[in-house]
Each structure stands twice: as C-alpha cells, then as structure tokens.
Amino acid sequence: MKLFVGLGNPGEKYARHRHNVGFMALDRIAGADGASPWRRRFQGETAELTLGGERVVLLKPTTYMNESGRSVGEAQRFLKIAVGDIYVFHDEIDLAPGKVKVKAGGGNAGHNGLRSLTAHIGNDYNRVRIGVGHPGVKEVVPHYVLHDFAKAEYEWLDPLLDAIAESARYLAHGDSARFLSQVARAERESEEKPEKRSAAPLKREGAVPKSHPAGERAAKRAGALAENLKRWLSGRTPKK
C-alpha cells in the first residue's frame, strides 16, 4: 500500500493558488483513475484506488498547510504505512514551471508543509516536487505562492497534471525513475496532440486556448512570472 499526500490549503479561495498544486495533482489522479468518492478522515479528505495492481490511499490534509503533518501522521499510524511508502506532492519554487523531480528525504527549503511533515513522521518520505518557478525576489515568495496561477500558466499546468495522473501507477510500484520518464513522455505527446488530452481541466474562467506551439509555452511561463512580480512591486494587484 502507498499513501499519496497532496499539500495545500482547504477552501475555494485557495483552490487555484500555486501553493495548492499538490491538491490539484491528487484531484487529477483521482479523476483519471476512478478513485472512490472523497470522504472526511484523518483530519483531511481521503479517497482510495488501485494503480497498477497496488492499493493507494490519497490524502489531502484540511489542517492548513502549516499543520499538514498532523493529518499525515494520523493516517500513517492508522494505516501502518512505512515512511518510505509515502509520496508527498507539493509546490517547488526552486524548479522551473512545469518541471517535476522526485527525491527521498532531504531538506525542507523553507516549505512549511514539509517542515510539519518532518516534525510528525520523520524526514524519509518521498517528495514529488512540482515546479512553479521563483518570482525572483525572496521577499515576494509568500505572496507569489499564495496567489492564483496566471491564466497563461495553464498552458503548461493542465498537461502536466494530466501527465502526472497518467504516470502515477509507477509511483505506486515505487519506481520514481519510470514515473519521471513517463511524465516527460506524456507531456511531449500532449504538446504534439493536445486534442487527445483525456482528463478534465481545472475549473476556471477565461481558460486560454491549448493549441500554442511548445516554444511559445516557455515564453508564456517567464512572461507571467515577470508581469506578476512587476505588478506586486508597484503596488498593483497581480494579474490573475
């Protein structure tokens, strides 16, 4: 059995924040693979499914980010899951937008959700780091991650979440390397044939078209980050 944890904050006001990309990933996995309905459990919301023949429990703590470890610790103890069988999906500002890395253990890099997990279950869980990019100024980071993804960013976010959902079965087997290679492959195929995306997109208003060439997507990522930073520093509301 594996425990997949998504980090985020509960409630509609936080649903599209960059800090909630862990919740988004679990929602996409559940939707793509026919999980059971979500239910209240372990100070969070849980669903269950089978991936590649392996039982997986999905958990979204509702304790708010800074207390995520309370929920995960309770689930781990009840389910008797080894720390090495826990995979935590979270936002990573030190990775470029759309990049994904997996590592076991390591530092928390100032991420309060990870810090809480380490305090409750130790440090040897697996981190599925989902890059959201850095605003370029350290002081801006809290505002940046606690704000909605820009519309242009859904050009890479939607296909990335699809790719994570399609490849999650490899994590269920503990094969992080295969998971990462399949995520990269699925993203490439999505860029080449965007009309074949199977999972439903995130609910949002004003979604941008999905037919831009891959080269333009990279430019949109950088442009969205720069525009939000410029607006924040000038005292204007960041563009959503």
Q: What is the secondary structure of 3-18 as a DSSP string?
A: EEEE----SGGGTTBG
pLDDT per residue as tens digits for the range 102-149:
999 887 777 889 999 999 999 999 999 999 999 999 999 999 999 999
Q: Sign of dihedral through CA atoms 92, 7, 120, 140?
A: positive
Residue 197 confidence (pLDDT): 45
pLDDT of residue 233: 56
Q: Is the pLDDT of residue 210 over 90?
A: no
Q: Of 13-22, 41-50, 197-206, give the lowest mean pLDDT range.
A: 197-206
Location of structure tokens 């080449």: 192
Query: What is the mean predicted confidence (pLDDT) over 96-100?
Result: 94
Number of Cβ within a 10 Å radius of residue 79: 16
Average pLDDT, the chain: 85
Best CA proximity match to 196, nearest among 175, 176, 211: 211
Q: Kindly tell me if the per-residue pLDDT of 227 is higher than 80.
A: no
Please determine, for residue 27, whether its predicted confidence score (pLDDT) is greater than 50: yes
Contact 108, 2 (CB under 8 A): no
pTM for the structure as a whole: 0.80
Is pLDDT of 201 > 80?
no
Say whether pLDDT at 194 is over 80: no
Per-residue pLDDT tens for 67-86? 999 999 999 999 999 999 99
What pLDDT does 187 receive?
Answer: 79
Q: What percent of the chain has pLDDT over 90?
A: 71
Catalytic positions, written as ranges: 19
- Overall CATH class of domain 2-233: alpha beta
pLDDT of residue 238: 46
pLDDT of amino acid 192 = 72
